[in-house]
Homo-oligomer: A and B are copies of this chain.
Amino acid sequence: MLLLITYMNLSEFLLSLIAFSPAELLDITSHFEKENISKDTMLIEQGEISKKLYFVEKGMGRSYYLKEDGKEVTQWFFGVGKFMSSVDSFFQQSPSLYYLETLEDSILYSISKENIDILFSKYHKMEQFGRLVSIEMLTKVVNKLNAIQFQTARERYDYMLAEFPNIAYRVPLGHIASYLGMTQETLSRIRR
């Protein structure tokens, strides 16, 4: 078994991208609320307007889409040190296309839209932080799109292992298969 990163502090993460002063850091983190959430808790329902953005200090979650035929399609996995949300629902305050749930007992730091907007207007640096995080997410979504659009089932699985090394072995096969746009049976066969 690999040694995994299991914790990532919010302040640490903020500092890893931008040189916030201790005072700024304190003010910013005070706008977040620490939440202990147990496994399999639904954070957002499809159709609901997302009220909070979550930072994952420990644990993990996923967003998924529910098709008309009742099948779940995993849209994204959120590991330690990432922001978790139904992005467009939160930022555009529009109905979410996805469900968001924890997959393990987790420690999350949540912030409301009002509070993050306060931070964005108060701190130029925070706005910069927001842009950097957005671009990073954009890059990752584009990578997934590439994997799905022009790679074979086998190559897509390799992408998954590279992108989510410490998630791939912790979640049910079916979640990964639907994330990669294939059936569980196909993924099972690919892994040999």
Interface residues of A (CB under 8 A from B): 65, 67, 73, 75, 87-88, 91-92, 97, 120, 124, 127-128, 130-131, 134-135, 137-139, 141-142, 144-146, 148-150, 181
State the main secondary structure of chain A at its contact with B: helix
**Which of B65, B87, B97 is the one whose CB lies under 8 Å from A138?**
B87
**Which of B91, B92, B97, B135 is the one whose CB lies under 8 Å from A91?**
B135
What CA separation (Å) do A88 and B92 show in the bound complex? 23
Smallest distance from the beta carbon of A89 to chain B beta carbons, Å? Answer: 10
What CA separation (Å) do A131 and B91 show in the bound complex? 11
Supposing A128-B120, A130-B131, A149-B181 touch, asked if A142 and B139 sit within 8 A by C-beta, the answer is no
Write the chain B residue with the least CB distance to A123.
B124
Q: Establish whether residues B146 and A145, one from each chain, have CB atoms under 8 Å apart when the complex forms.
A: no
Q: Establish whether residues B131 and A181, one from each chain, have CB atoms under 8 Å apart when the complex forms.
A: no
Smallest distance from the beta carbon of A90 to chain B beta carbons, Å? Answer: 10
List of 9 A-B pairs having minimum Cβ-Cβ separation, nearest first: A134-B134, A124-B124, A127-B127, A131-B131, A88-B139, A130-B131, A149-B181, A138-B138, A141-B141
What CA separation (Å) do A139 and B145 show in the bound complex? 13
Q: List 22 A-B contacts (CB under 8 A).
A: A67-B150, A73-B149, A73-B150, A75-B142, A87-B135, A87-B138, A88-B135, A88-B138, A91-B135, A92-B139, A97-B146, A131-B131, A134-B135, A134-B138, A138-B138, A138-B141, A141-B141, A141-B145, A144-B145, A148-B148, A148-B181, A149-B181
List, in ascending order, chain B residues with CB within 8 A of A88's CB: 135, 138-139, 142
Q: Establish whether residues B181 and A142, one from each chain, have CB atoms under 8 Å apart when the complex forms.
A: no
Q: Establish whether residues B138 and A137, one from each chain, have CB atoms under 8 Å apart when the complex forms.
A: yes
Q: Which of A146, A149, A181 is packed against the most chain B CB atoms within 10 Å?
A: A149
Q: Establish whether residues A142 and B142, one from each chain, have CB atoms under 8 Å apart when the complex forms.
A: no
Write the chain B residue with the least CB distance to A122.
B124
